């Protein structure tokens, strides 16, 4: 039987890169199939994710957001880089910059983001990282979690691929909750979503993502 070509995948990062590490590990264990991790691109030089990429032998580079006069010029440079790499799939794994319309259109239903809450709760512009968990605690919800979704121009509003719920415990702090959501939800559903995409199992119908098994 003819094998389908590998999906050329770039992972965009801005920080510690634990989600990137989960992707690398899942690929190593054969839990992500049909995927070629061609590049890791960071929006800043200090991201530890760059070290994780290099340690795994993945091409790592920086498109430094601070060196561009506007968000638009940053987006243009990033888009050129992704085009040069001939990328099929873009994964946002703790990427703290907003992707503008040209990139979202060029890779429509081919950009995947992980968000540390159950979208549509605690999501949208300005909701990222530890803040999201503090918002969940302040609101008093008993359950939170993580969401993996396709990226559209509107922040955190694209079609949802996978979600996983996590109970909030009485003594949780934003930090303890962040850790549990990462360990038990994000590191599980992000690699799973990438695998489903790379095996051609995801179909988007309006707002709904159909998973074909």
- Catalog residues that contact ligand GAR under the rule CB under 6 A: 13, 15-19, 49, 93-94, 114-116, 128-129, 132, 182, 186
**Sequence-separated (6 or more) residues with CB below 8 Å from residue 7:** 34, 35, 36, 88, 89, 197, 198
Measured from the CB atom, the residue of 1 and 91 that comes closer to ligand GAR is: 91
Helices (H), ranges, the chain: 18-28, 49-55, 71-84, 101-106, 130-139, 174-181, 187-198
Distance in angstroms (rounded) separating the CA atoms of residues 15 and 36: 22
Nearest-approach distance from CB 93 to ligand GAR, in angstroms: 5
Q: How far is CA 166 from the centre of its chain?
A: 19
116 or 158, CB closer to ligand GAR?
Answer: 116
Task: Walk across the sheet containing 111-115 and list its strands.
Answer: 60-62, 35-42, 7-13, 89-92, 111-115, 143-150, 160-167, 208-211, 202-205
How far apart are CB 213 and ligand GAR at their closest, in Å?
Answer: 26
Are 53 and 20 a contacting pair, CB within 8 Å?
yes
Is 115 marked active-site? yes
Q: Token match 């962040």: residue?
A: 178
Closest contact distance (angstroms) between CB of 36 and ligand GAR is 20
Q: To the nearest whole angstrom, how small is the minimum distance from the Cβ of residue 200 to ligand GAR?
A: 25
Chain position whose Cβ is nearest to ligand GAR:
94
Selected catalytic residue, list 45, 115, 133, 149: 115
Beta pairing, strands 143-150 & 160-167? antiparallel
Structure tokens at 93: 């794994």
Residue number, 159 or 199, with CB nearest to ligand GAR = 159
CB nearer to ligand GAR: pick between 129 and 159: 129
Q: Which residues are catalytic?
A: 115
């Amino acid at each position: 039987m003819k094998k389908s070509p590998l999906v050329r995948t770039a992972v965009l990062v801005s920080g510690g890169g634990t989600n990137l590490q989960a992707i690398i590990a899942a690929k190593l264990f054969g839990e992500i199939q049909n995927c070629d991790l061609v590049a890791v691109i960071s929006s800043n030089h200090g991201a530890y994710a760059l070290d994780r990429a290099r340690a795994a032998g993945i091409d790592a580079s920086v498109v430094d957001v601070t060196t561009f006069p506007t968000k638009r010029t940053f987006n243009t440079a990033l888009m050129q880089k992704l085009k040069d790499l001939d990328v099929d799939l873009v994964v946002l794994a703790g990427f703290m910059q907003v992707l503008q319309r040209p990139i979202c259109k060029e890779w429509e239903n081919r950009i995947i983001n992980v968000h540390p809450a159950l979208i549509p709760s605690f999501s949208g512009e300005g909701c990222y990282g530890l803040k999201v968990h503090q918002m969940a605690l302040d609101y008093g919800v008993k359950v939170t979690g993580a969401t993996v979704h396709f990226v559209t121009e509107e922040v955190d509003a694209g079609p949802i691929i996978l979600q996983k719920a996590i109970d909030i415990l009485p003594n949780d702090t934003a930090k303890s909750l962040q850790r549990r959501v990462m360990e038990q939800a994000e590191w599980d559903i992000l690699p799973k979503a990438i695998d489903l995409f790379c095996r051609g199992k995801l179909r988007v119908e309006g707002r709904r993502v159909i998973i074909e098994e």
